Chains A and B, each alone.
Chain A
Amino acid sequence: EAEVAQSPRYKITEKSQAVAFWCDPISGHATLYWYRQILGQGPELLVQFQDESVVDDSQLPKDRFSAERLKGVDSTLKIQPAELGDSAMYLCASSLGLRNEQFFGPGTRLTVL
Chain B
Amino acid sequence: QQQVKQSPQSLIVQKGGISIINCAYENTAFDYFPWYQQFPGKGPALLIAIRPDVSEKKEGRFTISFNKSAKQFSLHIMDSQPGDSATYFCAAWNSGNTPLVFGKGTRLSVIA
Chain A interface residues (CB < 8 Å from chain B)? 4, 40-45, 48, 56, 91, 93, 98-99, 101-107, 109
Contacts and interface: CB of A to CB of B under 8 A. Distances in A.
Interface residues of B, number: 20
Contact of A42 (B43, B46, B95, B105): B105
Contact of A91 (B6, B43, B91): B43
A61 B34 CA distance: 27
Contact of A101 (B34, B41, B89, B103): B34
Nearest to A46: B99
A107 B42 contact: yes
B103 to A, nearest CB: 6
B104 A104 contact: no
A43 B95 contact: no
A92 to B, nearest CB: 8
Contacts, number: 45
Interface string B40-73: 0111111001000000000000000000000000
Given A98-B96, A99-B95, A106-B41, A41 B46 contact: no
Nearest to B98: A56
Contact of A41 (B34, B96, B105): B105
B102 interface: yes
B12 interface: no
A93 to B, nearest CB: 8
Contact of A48 (B42, B46, B99): B99
18 contacts: A40-B104, A40-B105, A41-B104, A41-B105, A42-B102, A42-B103, A42-B105, A43-B89, A44-B102, A91-B44, A99-B95, A99-B96, A101-B49, A104-B43, A104-B44, A105-B43, A106-B42, A107-B43
A45 B105 contact: no
Contacts of A93: 43
